[in-house]
Amino acid sequence: MEYRTLGNNLTVSAVGLGCMGMSHAYGAPADKKEMKELLAEAVETGYTFFDTAEVYGTPENPHDNEELVGEALKPYRNKVVIATKFGIHFDMDSKQVNKPLAPDSRPEVIRVSAENSLKWLGTDHIDLYYQHRVDDSVPIEEVAGGMQELIQDGKITHWGISEADEATIRRAHGVCPVTAIQNRYSMMARWHESLFPVLEELKIGYVAFSPLANGFLSARYGKDSRFEAGTDYRSIMPQFMPEALEQNQKLLELISTVAEEKHATPGQISLAWMLCKKPYLVPIPGTRKSDRLKENAGAVEIRLTPKEVEILDKQLETMEMSDVFGGTKVLNVRE
């Protein structure tokens, strides 16, 4: 494993582990014993960066993922970086598979969320605390001020913002330095590349969630793939629809060709493409499987030259591909 620095001084493994899918959005929660063993294996493999959130759970146990991550990583706490998030809740009355979410970053809510996350994670501090979604009802300067207070209190050591735009990043950073943003990013979702200049200017890291387009870019799915209705978001994602396979055939062929040349897997090429693009990019693919855990970690060994990355970028810009899941609907009113 290789390591990278987010912001000024937060060192993390170059590939992190997104833990959400162990408890939330990818079907019924996985077996806890198996996931604890997988998280321990991740540490042994070299992963030091683990991502969760206060809402990654089930209706019966909304904090399932934080509890799992905290328990599994307790023996390694001084060796790992744990990131979690505050500031949203789901509309549980909705019938949608991916239920709409409502932002809520009021100061009193943030303080309670931080204390609860510390409890569920079983730790005395959070290494990286993200605002899960920007709350238009609360000025970002006020949120940043709250983060500064949590840092002064020793509750958190670094903070970041998920799904932020340039103006929000600048305003937040002016109050309390932002260590990282966490935005969607993959070969199929490149709309945040416009943020690269401001991230470089302010020395802020980019943590990429869904770097494999929710697993699609691993090239392991086909028309016969089936996902659990009602609990697996992939069952409604456009890239997994039967007609999408044909639309994305050229994309998969491109990735597979490069993979063959580099003696790698398509998933590794998808991760290596972003790892070789910017030194402050850290993908956090999720998995429930040991072989995928090792495969994703192996992406750090794949070297793409700047010219090879440039060629891939140009091909991606002109290539036909299906729509890709772009996220959950955000409600405009606080509920």
Other CB atoms within a 10 A radius of the CB of residue 63 amount to 21
Say which of 3, 26, 47, 56 is annotated catalytic. 56
pLDDT in tens, 277-333: 999 999 999 999 999 999 999 999 999 999 999 999 999 999 999 998 777 777 765
Contact assessment for residue 101 and residue 329, using Cβ atoms and an 8 Å cutoff: yes
pLDDT in tens, 156-191: 999 999 999 999 999 999 999 999 999 999 999 999
* Residue 75 predicted with pLDDT over 80: yes
Where is average pLDDT lowest: 22-26, 69-73, 232-236? Answer: 232-236
* Residue 254 predicted with pLDDT over 70: yes
- pLDDT band per the 50, 70, 90 thresholds, residue 22: very high
Per-residue pLDDT, 302: 97
Contact assessment for residue 43 and residue 79, using Cβ atoms and an 8 Å cutoff: yes
More confident residue, 229 or 5: 5
* Residue 335 predicted with pLDDT over 50: no
pLDDT in tens, 124-137: 999 999 999 999 99
Q: What DSSP assignment string belongs to 182-243?
A: EEE-BTTB-TTGGGHHHHHHHT-EEEEESTTTTTGGGT---TT----TTTBGGGG-GGGSHH
Contact assessment for residue 145 and residue 111, using Cβ atoms and an 8 Å cutoff: no
Q: Is 56 labeled as catalytic in the residue annotation? A: yes
